[in-house]
């Protein structure tokens, strides 16, 4: 069920009405659990059983671990949890990728082998709910939390419909405490939730789908070389599209959760105003970057084992981060590029240290724009269907195809330019504050007008139900 669909509108209204009229907290939680499974099952009902199976297994393993004191024994159960979850993810998401690469390796050795194509259907959101569930056993193992006694509560924490299929990756440790007692009354929470849902939908259906996706698709799907203007426009369009698409989903999720009385953390914090790459990853897909930091980077040694090892760790983490996004080497290159950016940044920081001139706004802006430029280059590999397209795009961006094709209309170029300028200006204006602080600072009539215009624009687009990009991950 997509947030930008009529089915969701009706579903959400029914859930809200039932939820807020029920008095029993247990009944409300049961309702949310059933609603979440309906939300998920509306795509492909059998996969709801898979979701429940992995959840129940982690619940059981968490309880096992919670009863043990001996670290070695606890580790055994953790290994089982990690192995089962990642195997599931590996089979559905990476099965064919692994077979193709195995075939390639054998062919290099002169062995011709044609593996059968696994005709598997990727369960939607598997990368997200696997991490929701894994965070529970990992946190119990780390001693950060104790296991819950309620399978129902844990199942709801993993499957809570606003964040189920495309994040944010909400850790069980952040969500389970909110299930202990019904939410207290908070003035404005429900309506602010609705306002956030409007903002999220506006980002998705108006900015990502209507204003940017057309140019990005045409440029990346073009079969030949493009001139620099079209190449850059296409990449900037995709950079905006993926931000508005994914941040829009997260904002909708946060808003929907607020309407039900739950608090989810931010997943984006104006990332295109990042000054440096570590800053970028503190602002982009925060729930994934903190997940990888806490459960991978730090266990690998983090920056405790010297500068060289820290850089290697960064590259390993970003390699995994790239692969998490999709079963293709282009995603791996995207991850490795970001890993290299982070490593180079660490090196430069070690050389420059904290010199006073680095605090000058002009310097910060320059670093910020350099960061944006490097992020754009990495997006090429993320979006391109293969390396041929990616290298053609990079060539076009840096003027290697002066006689290439010009395929974008002036209207498309203007749309991308206007939205990109608006996006960068908004991110720079808000980079040091939260959205909530910005809203409080605005006059009431401005907030009203912005909300009104966003709602009208959503209606005018007539929501054509394009799937969110991150569903495929």
Partner 1 sequence: MHSSTSSFKREIPSLPWRGITVTVAVGVLVAVAAWEVYCRSLGYEPTLNDTDDLWAEARRHVEPESVVIIGDSRAWFDSDLDELERGLGRRPVQLALPGAGPYPVLEDLASEERFHGTVICSVVPGLFFAPAGPPMQRPSGAVKRFHGQTWAQRISHQISVPIERSFAFLKQEDLTMAALLLELPIPDRPNAQVPPRTPPYFCSIDRERRARMFEQAARPGPLQEKIKGRWLRLFTPPPPPSFVPPDIFAANVKEAIEARFKNTKAAIEKLRARGGKIVFVRFPMTGPLKEHEDKFTPRAQTWEPLLQATGTPGIYFEDFPELLSFNCPEWSHLSAGDSVEFTKRLVPHLRKALQL
Spatial separation of the C-alpha atoms in residues 2 and 421, rounded to whole Å:
29
- Find where tokens 């008095």 sit: 23
Cα gap 386→262, rounded to integer Å: 41
Residue number with CB closer to partner 1 (77 or 382): 77
Shortest approach of partner 1 to residue 460 CB, angstroms? 5
Interface region with partner 1, contact rule CB under 8 A, candidates 1-9, 22-30, 88-96, 352-360? 1-9
Cis, bond preceding 249 (omega within 30 deg of 0): no
* Minimum distance, C-beta of residue 228 to partner 1, in the bound complex (Å): 13
Question: Residue 253 CB, nearest distance to partner 1 (Å)?
Answer: 12
DSSP line for 204-269: IIIIIIIIIHHHHHHHHH-SS-B-HHHHHHHHHHHHHHHHHHHHHHHHHHHHHHHHTT-----S-S
Integer Cα distance of 245 and 250 in angstroms: 9
CB of 338 closer than 8 Å to CB of 321 = yes
Dihedral over Cα of 286, 287, 289, 293: its sign: positive
Nearer to partner 1, 144 or 425 (CB): 144
Closest C-alpha to 145, from 171, 170, 121: 171
Regarding 103 and contact with partner 1 (CB under 8 A), the answer is no
HSE on the CB side for 201, CA within 13 Å? 29
Using CB under 8 A as the criterion, what x/- string covers residues 374-413 for binding partner 1?
A: ------------------------------xxxxxxxx--
**322's tokens:** 């790239």
C-alpha closest to that of 205 among 454, 413, 27, 391:
454
Figure out which of the listed residues 50, 298, 316, 457 binds partner 1, where binding follows CB under 8 A.
Answer: 457
Identify whether the C-beta of residue 57 lies closer than 8 Å to the C-beta of residue 50: no
- 320/457 with CB nearer partner 1: 457
Shortest Å distance, C-beta 437 to partner 1: 8
Q: Which is nearer to partner 1, 144 or 366 (CB)?
A: 144
Instruction: Give the nearer residue to partner 1 in terms of CB position, either 146 or 309.
Output: 146
> Is the Cβ of residue 87 or residue 437 nearer to partner 1 in the bound state?
437
Smallest gap, in angstroms, from Cβ of residue 383 to partner 1? 19
Please, which of residues 161-220 interact with partner 1 by CB under 8 A?
Answer: 171, 173-174, 176-177, 179-180, 186-189, 191-192, 194-195, 206, 210, 214
Binding mask 41-70 for partner 1 (x = CB under 8 A): xxxx--------------------------
Give CA separation, 278 vs 115, 283, 313, in Å: 41, 9, 14
> Does 461 interact with partner 1 (rule: CB under 8 A)?
yes
Q: State which residue, 7 or 358, has the beta carbon closest to partner 1.
A: 7
Footprint of partner 1 on residues 419-448 (CB under 8 A)?
434, 436-437, 439-440, 444, 447-448
Closest to 176 in 3D by CA, of 70, 62, 290: 62
Interactions with partner 1, residue window 129-168 (CB under 8 A):
139, 144-146, 148-149
Using CB under 8 A as the binding rule, whether residue 263 contacts partner 1 is answered as: yes
Which CB atom, from 206 or from 397, has the smaller least distance to partner 1?
206
Active-site residue, selected from the candidate residues 285, 325, 401, 427? 325
Query: 10 Å Cβ neighbour count for 421?
Result: 11
Residues within window 6-35 making contact with partner 1, judged by CB under 8 A = 6-8, 10
For tokens 């499957």, the residue is 159
Q: For partner 1, which stretch binds (CB under 8 A), given 95-103, 259-267, 302-310, 380-388? A: 259-267
Q: Count residues contacting partner 1 (CB under 8 A)? A: 72
Whether the CA torsion 37, 43, 45, 50 is positive or negative: it is negative
What minimum distance in Å lies between the beta carbon of 414 and partner 1?
7
456 binds partner 1 (CB under 8 A): yes
| Shortest distance in whole angstroms from residue 174 CB to partner 1 | 4
User: How far apart are the C-alpha atoms of 102 and 230, rounded to whole Å?
Assistant: 37
Q: Is-catalytic flag, 427?
A: no
Q: Which of 265, 309, 364, 400 binds partner 1 (CB under 8 A)?
A: 265
Residue 110 Cα to chain centre, angstroms = 40
Of residues 77, 257, 121, the one with CA closest to residue 178: 257
| Residues that are catalytic | 325
């Amino acid at each position: 069920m997509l947030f930008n669909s009529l089915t969701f509108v009706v579903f959400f209204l029914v859930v809200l009405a039932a939820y807020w009229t029920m008095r029993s907290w247990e009944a409300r939680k049961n309702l949310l659990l059933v609603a979440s499974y309906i939300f998920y099952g509306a795509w492909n009902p059998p996969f709801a059983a898979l979701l429940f199976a992995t959840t129940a297994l982690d619940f059981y393993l968490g309880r096992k671990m919670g009863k043990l004191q001996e670290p070695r024994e606890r580790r055994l159960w953790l290994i089982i949890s990690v192995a089962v979850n990642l195997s599931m993810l590996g089979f559905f998401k990476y099965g064919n990728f692994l077979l193709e690469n195995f075939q390639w390796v054998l062919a290099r050795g002169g062995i011709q082998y044609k593996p059968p194509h696994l005709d598997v259907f990727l369960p939607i959101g598997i990368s997200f709910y696997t991490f929701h569930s894994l965070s529970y056993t990992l946190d119990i193992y780390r001693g950060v939390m104790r296991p819950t006694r309620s399978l129902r509560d844990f199942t709801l924490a993993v499957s809570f419909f606003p964040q189920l299929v495309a994040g944010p990756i909400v850790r069980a440790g952040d969500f389970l405490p909110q299930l202990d007692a019904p939410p207290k009354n908070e003035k404005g929470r429900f309506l602010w939730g609705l306002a956030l849902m409007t903002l999220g939908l506006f980002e998705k259906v108006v900015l990502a789908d209507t204003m940017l996706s057309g140019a990005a698709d045409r440029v990346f799907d073009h079969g030949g070389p493009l001139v620099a203007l079209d190449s850059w426009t296409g990449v900037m369009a995709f950079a905006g599209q993926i931000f508005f698409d994914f941040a829009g989903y997260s904002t909708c999720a946060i808003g929907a959760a607020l309407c039900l009385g739950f608090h989810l953390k931010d997943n984006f914090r104006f990332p295109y105003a990042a000054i440096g790459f570590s800053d970028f990853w503190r602002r982009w897909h925060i729930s994934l970057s903190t997940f990888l930091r806490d459960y991978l980077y730090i266990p690998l040694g983090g920056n405790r084992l010297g500068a060289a090892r820290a850089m290697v760790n960064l590259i390993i983490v970003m390699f995994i981060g790239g692969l998490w996004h999709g079963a293709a080497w282009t995603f791996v290159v995207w991850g490795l590029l970001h890993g290299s950016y982070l490593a180079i940044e660490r090196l430069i920081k070690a050389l420059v240290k904290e010199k006073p001139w680095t605090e000058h706004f002009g310097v910060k802006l320059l670093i910020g724009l350099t960061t944006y430029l490097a992020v754009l280059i990495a997006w090429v590999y993320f979006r391109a269907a293969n390396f041929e397209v990616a290298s053609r795009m990079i060539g076009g961006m840096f003027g290697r195809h002066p006689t290439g094709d010009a395929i974008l209309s002036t209207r498309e170029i203007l749309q991308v330019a206007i939205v990109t300028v608006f996006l960068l200006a908004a991110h720079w204006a808000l980079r040091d504050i939260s959205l909530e602080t910005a809203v409080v600072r605005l006059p009431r009539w401005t907030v009203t007008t912005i909300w009104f215009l966003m709602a009208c624009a959503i209606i005018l687009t007539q929501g054509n139900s394009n799937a969110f990009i991150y569903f495929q991950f």
